[in-house]
Amino acid sequence: MPRTARDVVFVDGVRTPFGKAGPKGLYAETRADDMIVSVIRELLRRNPALPPERIGEVAVAATTQTGDQGLTIGRSAAILAGLPKSVPGYAIDRMCAGAMTAVTTTAGSIALGATDVAVAGGVEHMGHHPMGSGVDPNPRFVAERLVDPSALSMGATAENLHDRFPAITRARADAYALASQRKVAAAYAAGQIQPDLVPVAIRSAEAGYTGSMGWGLATADEPPRPDTTIEALAGLKTPFRPHGRVTAGNSAGLNDGATGCVIAAQDVAAELGLDARMRLIDFSFAGVDPEVMGIGPVPATEAVLARNDLTIDDIGLIEVNEAFAVQVLAFLDHFKIADDDPRVNPWGGAIALGHPLASSGVRLMIQLAREFAERPAVRYGLTTMCVGLGMGGTVLWENLHA
């Protein structure tokens, strides 16, 4: 039977404040599944017009699917959040693009008509599950030269990107990182980020982030360093290569956090009285050489633009994940975009806010939706990111406030 694809819209998104991974971080004694449960419950609280039984799927991404991020976390989180047992769920892994893939995958089922409404997001507790923990890479990757050995270290791939594009200097990467910190500080001062943060109860058995033992409340992102200076950035060590160019200051940190959003068929959102904020037009995932995985957003974006007969000049807002400054700058240089173009990450990015791997894709969408509301003259926006093992992902959105 012939079918017509339905339009899919982004209704709402929320996230936990992001924390620093480690024994003194915000979420050192908080379970990963409890973090995503907090997000799901907040989405339901903020959208009372959405009957929980209308949710047709809960897709939750995690890069390390074990421990408190295992047990098919989409399904287990749905049960823990109190959704009807009739609501199914599943887990997704596309490394850093996990939450982005959770959105595009559920959007496909909505467009086909198999599902009307979905909750999609991601969680990463890098304090409990350090990147690569428990992984056993097949020796054939290196023995048969399927990839360069540096492909298995994200920091090393960023140094490789500096090698490929020598115009992207350490000084330029540091300047970009400083700008990200300043933009996040300005966005916080303007109250632009806080509306989509879910307060999370946190416990500390010893004096740590909260300053005392006992219970506290996480209400703001922990990673930003608003007092960062260019001199301090210039003095940081280069852990991935002697005399290299990648530092902790011009890269995203190791973080804990969870994100989630409600997406729906546009006609169903209208039927239920849900406020649709942006429409998903198209998406693309692309593969690149794993040893320069940071270039992944370029072919993914080119594919989306070409299919929709658009150029980068038609895009009024670009939310690009700042895994490394060099990766963002390579993307900007390819599309001939200035380092300080106001379309790009106007409220800052992951260098300041943090990058809890699989959760970050939906953070980009949350910020883009808010920025769309403030800029009704902008019609199109992108969310884009590089992905480990040599991939990139891009989603094209249309502003429904335009």
In the predicted structure, residue 208 carries a pLDDT above the cut 60? no
Cβ partners under 8 Å of residue 383, min gap 6: 100, 319, 320, 361, 364, 365, 368, 394, 395, 397
Residue 3 buriedness (CB in 10 A; 0-12 / 13-18 / 19+):
exposed
The CA distances from residue 119 to 181, 313, 366, 374, 395, in Å, are 30, 32, 14, 25, 17
Closest residue by Cα to residue 64 from 125, 139, 153, 121: 125
| CA 342 to centroid of chain Cα atoms | 20
Q: φ and ψ at 389, to 5 degrees?
A: 65, 20
Q: Tell me which of 125, 129, 162, 386 is the catalytic residue.
A: 386
Whether residue 179 contacts residue 164, with contact meaning beta carbons closer than 8 Å, is answered with no
Position of tokens 């819209």? 9
pLDDT of residue 3: 73
* Cβ(33)–Cβ(67) below 8 Å: no
Which residue is catalytic, options 125, 128, 129, 355? Answer: 355
Q: For residue range 33-82, list pLDDT tens digits in order.
A: 999 999 999 999 999 999 999 999 999 999 999 999 999 999 999 999 99
Query: Cα angle at 78 between 29 and 115, to 5 degrees?
Result: 145
Question: Are the C-beta atoms of 268 and 117 separated by less than 8 Å?
Answer: yes
| Residue 6 Cα distances to 42, 55, 179, 245, 281, angstroms | 27, 17, 40, 46, 11
For this structure, is 261 an active site residue?
Answer: no
Active site residue 355: yes
Torsion angle, alpha carbons of 94, 300, 363, 160, to 10? 80
Beta carbons of 196 and 366 less than 8 angstroms apart = yes
pLDDT (tens digit per residue) in 107-161: 999 999 999 999 999 999 999 999 888 889 899 988 898 998 898 899 999 999 9
> C-alpha distances in angstroms, 203 versus 27, 163, 210, 212, 353?
8, 44, 9, 10, 22
Q: What are phi and psi of 107, to 5 degrees?
A: -60, -35
Which of 96, 125, 128, 261 is catalytic? The answer is 96
pLDDT of residue 380: 98
Relative orientation angle of helices 360-374 and 98-112, to the nearest 10 degrees = 70
Structure tokens at 268: 């169903």
Which backbone phi and psi does 167 adopt, to 5 degrees? -70, -20
- With a pLDDT cut of 90, the percent of the chain lying above it is 91
Task: Give which of 53, 50, 98 is closest to 74, Cα–Cα.
Answer: 98
Report residue 253 as tokens.
Answer: 């940190």
Give pLDDT tens digits for 240-295: 999 999 999 999 999 999 999 999 999 999 999 999 999 999 999 999 999 999 99
pTM for this predicted structure:
0.96
Both tokens of residue 135?
A: 């992984």
Q: 125: number of CA atoms within 13 Å, CB side?
A: 22
Indicate if the pLDDT at residue 207 is higher than 60.
no
Residue 96 falls in the annotated catalytic set: yes
Q: What is the pLDDT of residue 215?
A: 86
Beta bridge partners, 259, equal: 15, 122
* Tens of pLDDT, residues 343-387: 999 999 999 999 999 999 999 999 999 999 999 999 999 999 999
Cβ contact 211:224 at 8 Å: no
Q: Give the 3-state secondary structure of residue 322.
A: coil
Ordered domains of the chain (ranges, CATH): 145-192+281-396 (3.40.47.10)
| 145 neighbors 301 (Cβ within 8 angstroms) | no
Lookup: tokens for 374: 């403030």
